[in-house]
Amino acid sequence: MILFTDSASDLPKEYYEQHNVVFFPLRVHLNGQEYPDVIGIDPKTVYDEMRKGAAPKTSQVSPDEFYSTFEQYAKNGEEAIYISFSSQLSGTYNTAVMIAEQLREKYPDFKLTIIDTKCASLGQGLVVKKAVEWRDAGVPFGELAEKVENYAKHMQHIFTVENLEYLARGGRISKSSAFIGGLLSIKPILHVEDGKLIPIEKVRGRKKALARMVELMAERGGDFSNKIVGISHGDDWQTVEDVKKLIEEKLHPKGFDVTMIGSVIGSHSGPGTLAIFFTDKEYTD
């Protein structure tokens, strides 16, 4: 069985290679050049350029790339699941669905399930990792798709940004709000609701914002003793260590999975972003 995902899952290239996951790179447009995410550009490069004033843009996976890759597996009669970036944040999911429908005209027996995770960054990445675990344990195709979809529904995302300017560039907040927020050291706390980025609260000061994020984790996640907590960051390892310490002291999770936010997501959230991912207390494996 083949698992597909895209680079918005923010897993390292080595993970995809080692675990037989086929990934589609979204595109990053930086300083007049276009790069395929993960294989063509490093997120550290994007953050360094953003700190110098660059304003990168991103674009979805091309229809041709979906068609040529899906067709390789359709020809061989493979069963496949594509674990996609939220349809509310990118057109990638809808393009994949359109191409799959075209391919089924030529290969009517092609078994491809496309899952809109309504997740992003390591939230999506953790869904991919769980899917790999189940696939490798021998969970059959139909059951696996159901389990992955259910797991994705229970993935919580809580994050904050260091600089509101980057959210303003992407139209997430107004430029005047970003300016005033910067003056007052306002740090927004956001989450993902039904695939969309939604502000929860505004907190003054980064330390208070991080502490509040951990409080929200406790409210939403219940018992963490058997949970892996995902943390992704915009080139800010010190804040990762600070927030890990807060989480360990309050929630005692089973462990952490830490990654840098990739070039595509990071182009919109900016350096200094800190995001936390975990399943909510309603989820049972």
**Residues 143-169, mean pLDDT to the nearest whole number:** 88
Q: Alpha carbon 185 to chain centroid distance?
A: 26
Predicted confidence at residue 73, as pLDDT, reads: 95
Question: Cα dist. 259→155, 205, 234, 274 in Å?
Answer: 17, 24, 9, 11
Superfamily grouping for domain 2-26+61-153: Dihydroxyacetone kinase; domain 1 (3.40.50.10440)
Predicted confidence at residue 7, as pLDDT, reads: 97
- Whether 167 has a pLDDT exceeding 70, the answer reads no
Cross-strand pairs, 3: 21, 81
Distance CA 212, CA 154 (A): 21
Identity of the amino acid at 219: E
Distance CA 211, CA 216 (A): 9
HSE at residue 138, side-chain half, CA atoms within 13 A, is 0
Helix (H, G, I), strand (E, B) or coil at 261: coil
Sheet strands (E) in 175-249: 186-193, 196-204, 228-233
- Whether 88 has a pLDDT exceeding 50, the answer reads yes
**Residues 160-183, mean pLDDT to the nearest whole number:** 57
Q: What percent of the chain stands above pLDDT 90?
A: 82
| CA-wise closest residue to 236 among 267, 258, 268, 205 | 258
Residue 20 CB coordination number (10 Å): 12
- Predicted structure pTM score: 0.94
Predicted confidence at residue 284, as pLDDT, reads: 77
Domain boundaries, the chain: 2-26+61-153, 155-279
Question: Cα dist. 127→35, 61, 100, 118, 139 in Å?
Answer: 25, 20, 21, 11, 15
Question: Cα dist. 49→32, 45, 78, 200 in Å?
Answer: 12, 6, 42, 29
The better pLDDT of the pair 176, 253 is held by 253
**Residues 4-25, mean pLDDT to the nearest whole number:** 97
Q: Which fold has domain 155-279?
A: Hypothetical Protein Tm841; Chain: A;domain 3 (3.30.1180)
Question: What is the pLDDT confidence band of residue 198, given thresholds at 50, 70 and 90?
Answer: confident
Do 212 and 106 touch, CB atoms closer than 8 A?
no
- Whether 111 has a pLDDT exceeding 50, the answer reads yes
Do the domains at 2-26+61-153 and 155-279 have one common CATH topology?
A: no
Cross-strand pairs, 41: 37
**Residues 73-101, mean pLDDT to the nearest whole number:** 95
pLDDT per residue as tens digits for the range 185-195? 678 888 999 99
pLDDT per residue as tens digits for the range 210-244? 999 999 999 999 999 999 999 999 999 999 999 99
Radius of gyration of the chain (CA): 19
Distance CA 231, CA 159 (A): 9
- Whether 130 has a pLDDT exceeding 60, the answer reads yes
Identity of the amino acid at 145: A
